[in-house]
Structure 1
Amino acid sequence: MWFRNLLIYRFTRPFSLSPEELNEQLAVKAFVSCGSQDMASIGWVSPLGKQDGELIHTSNGCIMLCCQRQEKVLPAAAVKDVLEERVQDIREGEDRAVGRKERMQMKEDIIFEMLPRAFSKSRKQFAYIDPANGWLIFDTASHKRAEEIMVLLRECIGSLPVIPLAAKNTTQHCMTSWLKTHAPTSFELGGECELIDGADESAAIKCKNQNLSSPEILNHIDGGMFVKKLSLSWTGGIDFTIDEQLTVRGLRFADLITDKTEDSQAETAAEKFDVDFAILNAELAQFIPALLSAFGGEELGTEEEVAV
């Protein structure tokens, strides 16, 4: 359950729904498996993985959500093969060509026929609401996946006044400055970064397992390159990579954090999930403000919703 990525949004107005109210409203879009003719299905499931149960899980005042998406796997090559066979049958049997419009209709008919026999694949996406700090946090680095969940959440609760978390200072300038001088307070430089040319962003250099303060790296910066991604270690016990949009990837929690689960002596999967979530949101409640402070603090936006 430990998050590996962070996309963080700021509520522009307090989140006022109680866990009980939210659970009731999420039930409107509870997950239902794909029907025989459905290409995809999306909805809420229990974060604890139960067949029946609450669609939320709370800890330390935070509310965990879990969205499940199921998609039919229908290989394009398989559809194409059947289509070509039927087109060839018409050419030989009726001695005529198949036009574009007829071909498109035949393709739709083939998909309709094949869907009931298609395999399905599913994925779960976790996110949690921290009402006290005013955050909506996704375990993904994909804005598309985060937006998919926000659309679903809006369909359930009506309004979701959030904006992406933003820093006061320009992230690229800050990260570039850290390589030239030193890491911000409570952080240490890692061994990976991605540099882009200030005049041509398509020109990039990726560095891995490097001394980021070495003359070779600094020469690129002196030549007009900026840091786009940078790996850092927080002294609180978290290693990660961050980019210019404040997207956090590759979260790795130190043993001093994850060992707290063992210390709790949780026995069941549900108890372990509860402990892990409590530790996770408590650690991120310290990590996120420290990260924002490194970039000069948070830039508060206006009360408008993200367009999805």
Structure 2
Amino acid sequence: MLRNVRVYRLEPQGLTDAEGLAAQLASRRFAPCGSQEASRAGWAEVGNEGALVMACGEYLYCKLRTETRKVPGDALRRAVDERAAQLEQTQGFRPGRKQRAELSEMVLMEMLPKAFPKDHDAEVIFDTMGRWLLVGTSSDAVSDTVLENLRHCIPNLPVRSVATVNPLAGVMREWLLGEEASGGFEMGDTLHLKGQGSVRYAGQELPFDEVRKHLEAGMVPVNLEINMGEEVSFRLMAIDDMRALSFLEKTSEEEQQAISGDQVEDFKASLVIRAGVVRRVLDALLEVCGGEVAGSCGDPSPAAELKAA
């Protein structure tokens, strides 16, 4: 749970309770792919009672399930080659580009029902108190699919991308130049710099003198491992993109103390603890970046933001 997180700001008018959110998501409840479908997404059941939303204290938890049927490319090409050879014998000349495309589509439709389906679940958490929408993924495509399906169920989905007064890359640059992070954070040993080329560090203490030379030459940090006390460590890609979260000793102890023996209740307790840590991280990041830009808006598309960066 919460190994990778994409973050969006949730506007006040988007807050609802578990029953209300479940009613909205019900219009796109998950159903397996049809025999001729390559993929299908929908909201899967959570908990033991078939509900689409689980209330966990101040958080609402749901998950988007995507089922895909994928025909291996090599198998598809071989089948198309065989069909094209048969057609060449029948018509007396090799199939052209258009005919081959039509053959490929036809063969794919024949092979799809035999393809083994594969499921992937993306966790979604509404932080109703902190007003964050957390999507458990590191993938642009997955986060975009989650937003698309949320918008289908909630036409005026009140979420937006997060923007700060001071760009995060500039804040990380200052940390590296000063060899010390602020806001209760500490820097780890993983760093990726980009500019005229690319430099990566991992598995050893950062060589700050060398890093400083790269920064002064115009490189910028795009990936920095940081940790917050004994609660969590993660790779910070952007203000709204945290990856490889590892919950540390203090968080693990809280989870152990919350164990009751009931699987569902233990899951809820763990979610509350971990989502609370993520909320504190986000609050601290906003503070070190000079606060959030009021009314920042635009299509919260991770792919678009990364491309712009």
| TM-score normalised by L of structure 2 | 0.91
Counting only pairs closer than 5 Å after superposition, residues 1-308 of structure 1 correspond to structure 2 as 1=1, 3-48=2-47, 50=48, 53-181=50-178, 182-197=180-195, 200=196, 203-212=197-206, 214-235=208-229, 237-302=231-296, 306=300
Q: Which stretches in structure 1 are left out of the alignment for 5+ residues?
A: none
Percentage identity across paired residues of the two chains: 26
Contact (CA 8 Å) 2:163, 2:296: kept in 1 or not?
A: no
Q: Which stretches in structure 2 are left out of the alignment for 5+ residues?
A: 305-309
- Report the Cα distance in structure 1 between the residues aligned to 2:84 and 2:139, rounded to whole angstroms: 40
Contact (CA 8 Å) 1:79, 1:107: kept in 2 or not?
A: yes
- Report the Cα distance in structure 2 between the residues aligned to 1:270 and 1:12, rounded to whole angstroms: 29
Q: 1:185 to 1:106 in 2, by over 3 A?
A: closer
| TM-score normalised by L of structure 1 | 0.91
**Range with bigger deviation, 32-41 or 212-221:** 212-221
Q: 1:4 to 1:255 in 2, by over 3 A?
A: same
Q: 1:168 to 1:253 in 2, by over 3 A?
A: same
Contact (CA 8 Å) 1:184, 1:294: kept in 2 or not?
A: yes
How many residues are aligned here? 301
- Report the Cα distance in structure 2 between the residues aligned to 1:144 and 1:80, rounded to whole angstroms: 26
Write the letter of the residue equivalent to 2:166: N
Secondary structure of the 1:14 match is helix
Task: Let me know the Cα RMSD of the aligned residues.
Answer: 2.0
Write the letter of the residue equivalent to 1:37: Q
Write the letter of the residue equivalent to 2:37: D
Alpha-carbon shift at residue 224 of structure 1 (Å): 2.4
Write the letter of the residue equivalent to 2:135: F
- Report the Cα distance in structure 2 between the residues aligned to 1:241 and 1:190, rounded to whole angstroms: 9
Cα offsets for 1:222-249 (capped at 9, x unmatched): 2222212111111251111112454111
- Report the Cα distance in structure 2 between the residues aligned to 1:302 and 1:183, rounded to whole angstroms: 26
